[in-house]
Amino acid sequence: MKLLLIITVLLLDVYCVGEQTGLLNGTYKGTRWGYYTILSNLLVIVYFFLALLNELFGIVPLVENAVVSFTVMMSIILTFMIFHFMLMKIMIREWKEGIGLNPYRLGNLGVHYICPILTLVYFFLFIDRSDLKVWQGVLWLLSPTVYLLYAALRAHLGYTFNARGDRWPYWFMNFDKLGFWKVIRNLLILMAGFGLLGLLIAYISIILR
């Protein structure tokens, strides 16, 4: 069961990231690597590849560490929540207006819904959480923090994401349009909210171990 889930997530996520970036259909766009969605799914791919090696050969025990697994799980859950609550409605509207891609294609559902949920299931079913502490539920915020620095560097270097010339990948962090303080407010609210969510999920995972 564990091995089957590892292989399923790994193969599905490789396909979906390939579809999302255009590598599978000849429409490759390098800008896709600037999105947190793609990078967090790439983290999942690396993690489950190492988990596969560990399951088969026992050579990467770090993937069994509760904090490591929790960090990967929360990083991809962030992708799910940001997309579902802040971006999905926009994508559906643009698709219906004929100016966006179909949000219900496997590639999109895979990176935003299926792989995050399967990663959550894997964490709760197969990771030993006996040493996990509630306070460690905020350590995963290192992942989005690193991403914010990466996005800022890309923007500083002049990379853009679309024909409008947006330097920022998501509307809630678009310094050019919203201004410095509004973006900082948005990011602080999100980081605080997801920090609390991390503590809650860590607590739940401890009491259910």
Instruction: Determine which helix (DSSP H) or strand (DSSP E) holds 130, and give its type and residue range.
Output: none
Contact between 98 and 10 (Cβ < 8 Å): no
Q: What share of the chain has pLDDT > 90, as a percent?
A: 70
Contact between 75 and 145 (Cβ < 8 Å): no
Contact between 111 and 20 (Cβ < 8 Å): yes
Residue 71 clears pLDDT 80, i.e. is over it: yes
Residue 119 clears pLDDT 90, i.e. is over it: yes
CA 58 to chain centre: 26
Q: What average pLDDT does this structure show over 2-6? A: 96
Name the DSSP class of 99: S
Q: How many domains does the chain have?
A: 1
Q: Report the pLDDT value the prediction gives residue 163, as an integer from 0 to 100.
A: 63
Q: What share of the chain has pLDDT > 70, as a percent?
A: 99
Distance separating alpha carbons of residues 150 and 170, to the nearest angstrom: 13
Q: Report the pLDDT value the prediction gives residue 100, as an integer from 0 to 100.
A: 75
Distance separating alpha carbons of residues 169 and 174, to the nearest angstrom: 7
Torsion of CA 159, 94, 90, 177, to 10 degrees: 40
Domain housing 138: 2-207
C-alpha angle 108-81-11 in degrees, rounded to nearest 5: 40
Q: Report the pLDDT value the prediction gives residue 24, as an integer from 0 to 100.
A: 82
